[in-house]
């Protein structure tokens, strides 16, 4: 578990001139952790290349290895910086699983533990113990699993198989509840017929589309009879050698730097077509006045994304229900815009690493904005901004939001910049290199 006393205060650097930089971005956390789960359940070994190595992905690697999966680097034993991994499935057995603050570990691994022989115990950071978890645990119970507890810490006792079948759940709080069941469902005796019964739609739809696409790549028969139901047929999961795309959500603070400073940032290997919700930042930045271009060669499946910032950022009115994870970046941009902005569709952010709506409202008010916290979003009125401590709440995206504000406001001190290691180790060195005008 993470010791919340071991934190690193960081004075966010001000951009005295427009930023001009090339910023290569490591692999996607969402794609990495889904690929690792599918590889652990596959019918033969598979290679996963270009993976992100961060706290969240290392926790997933640790969980899968504890359950019986062999994961190696290019030279054999796994090194801390290896990004090209060989995953060899093995018989699953009970284990102690450390979740940290990783929602994907909390929600994706319990179904694997239900397929294991023996008891698996799950625990994590103090902040993880208040994150919503009962939805997926109750669903596993209804599918035949033996589960004790409703939040971290909890345990799952397996006999080597799981009945599966029809299950109803309210996944209004997180799309990870849906993805977590779907990823393992082909290994259930009867597959799964999953129906969302919540009054609100499942948020972050692109993440479910990502899961469905990766399942189909692995030969799994997946149907979506309605917008709120999914059916996975029982059967093998084929081993697939995958190359992980760059993490587009992790790219957004750097692209925001171009928009905030009136500079330009280039991100190579940006995919032409993707299921990653971070791709939506292109439209958001254009709405706020930036120029956004994807430079590609004819027939290429990726190119270089180029963002050139405007003289002034325009305010934004947007429903972010499909792209909630981008909210801290977007809120920081709105705080530096030249008029009031309204962000809606993000009530589910209250159950993320922290209550992100309350956290953003508190920190933006502390630096001089007027912020109204609505039931499903934020109204942000920029004001004369000033330096102040910026609390990260052990939340990587809150920390990077503080870095964005600091580009234009002297005296922003982020209290826990090390929280960025959750998905982006080396963030501060990348940020410093970007401000110096080179390739990070």
Span 4-34, pLDDT tens digits? 444 578 999 999 999 999 999 999 999 999 9
Mean pLDDT of 260-285: 97
Tokens representing 381 are 């009125």
Q: Taking residues 398-418, what's their average pLDDT?
A: 97
Which of 276, 396, 374, 377 minimizes the C-alpha distance to 321? 377
Q: Which residues of 28-49 are buried (b: 16+ CB within 10 A; e: fewer)?
A: bbbbbbbbbbbbbbbeeebbbe
Spatial contact of 322 and 276, defined as CB atoms under 8 Å apart:
no
- Across the chain, mean pLDDT equals 95
Q: Is the peptide bond before 356 cis (omega within 30 degrees of 0)?
A: no
Sign of CA dihedral 322, 326, 331, 337: negative
Sign of CA dihedral 133, 109, 269, 17: positive
Q: Look up the pTM and report it.
A: 0.91
Give the catalytic positions in this structure: 325
Structure tokens at 127: 């902040």
Cα separation of 415 and 405, whole Å? Answer: 14
> Could you give the CA distance from residue 253 to residue 414 in angstroms, rounded to a whole number?
15
Is residue 395 very low, low, confident or very high in pLDDT (cuts 50, 70, 90)?
very high
Say yes or no to pLDDT of 151 above 80. yes
Rounded distance between C-alpha atoms, residue 121 and residue 17, angstroms? 51
Give the pLDDT confidence score for residue 200 in this predicted structure: 87
What CA–CA distance (Å, rounded) separates 167 from 392? 37
Contacts for 245 with CB less than 8 Å, ≥ 6 apart: 27, 28, 31, 50, 269, 271, 274, 276, 302
Distance CA(253)–CA(396), nearest Å, equals 11
- Phi then psi for residue 414, to 5 deg, are -80, 125
Cα–Cα distance measured from residue 345 to residue 311, given in angstroms and rounded to the nearest whole number: 29
């Amino acid at each position: 578990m993470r010791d919340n006393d071991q934190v690193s205060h960081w004075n966010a650097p001000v951009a005295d001139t427009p930023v001009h930089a090339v910023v290569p971005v490591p692999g996607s956390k969402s794609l990495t952790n889904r690929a690792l789960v599918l590889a652990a359940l596959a019918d033969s070994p598979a290679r996963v290349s270009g993976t992100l190595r961060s706290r969240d992905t290392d926790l997933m690697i640790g969980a899968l290895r504890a359950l019986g999966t062999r994961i190696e680097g290019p030279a054999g034993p796994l090194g801390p910086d290896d990004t090209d991994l060989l995953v060899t499935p093995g018989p699953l057995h009970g284990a102690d699983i450390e979740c940290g603050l990783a929602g994907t570990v909390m929600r994706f691994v319990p179904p694997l533990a239900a397929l294991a022989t023996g008891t698996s115990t799950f625990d994590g950071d103090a902040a993880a113990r208040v994150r919503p978890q009962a939805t997926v645990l109750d669903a596993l119970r209804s599918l035949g699993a033996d589960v004790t507890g409703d939040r971290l810490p909890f345990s799952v006792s397996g006999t080597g198989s799981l009945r599966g079948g029809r299950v109803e759940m309210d996944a209004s709080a997180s799309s990870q509840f849906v993805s977590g069941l779907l990823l393992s469902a082909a290994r259930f005796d009867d597959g799964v017929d999953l129906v969302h019964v919540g009054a609100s739609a499942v948020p972050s739809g692109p993440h479910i589309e990502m899961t469905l696409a990766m399942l189909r790549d692995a030969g799994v028969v997946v149907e979506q009879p309605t917008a709120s139901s999914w059916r996975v047929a029982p059967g093998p999961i084929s081993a697939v050698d995958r190359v992980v795309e760059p993490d587009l959500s992790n790219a957004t603070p750097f692209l925001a730097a171009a928009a905030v400073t009136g500079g330009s940032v280039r991100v190579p290997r940006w995919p032409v077509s993707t299921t990653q919700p971070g791709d939506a930042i292109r439209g958001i930045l254009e709405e706020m006045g930036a120029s956004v271009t994807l430079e590609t060669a004819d027939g290429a499946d990726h190119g270089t994304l180029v963002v050139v910032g405007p003289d002034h950022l325009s305010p934004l009115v947007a429903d972010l229900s499909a792209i909630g994870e981008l909210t801290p970046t977007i809120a920081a941009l709105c705080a530096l815009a030249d008029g009031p902005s309204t962000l809606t569709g993000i009530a589910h952010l209250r159950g993320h690493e922290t209550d992100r709506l309350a956290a953003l409202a508190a920190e933006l008010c502390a630096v001089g904005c007027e912020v109204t916290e609505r039931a499903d979003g934020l109204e942000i009125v920029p004001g004369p901004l000033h330096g102040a401590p910026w609390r990260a709440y052990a939340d990587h995206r809150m920390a990077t939001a503080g870095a964005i504000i600091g580009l234009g406001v002297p005296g922003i001190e982020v209290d826990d910049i090390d929280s960025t290691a959750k998905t982006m180790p080396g963030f501060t060195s990348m940020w410093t290199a970007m401000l110096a005008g080179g390739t990070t």
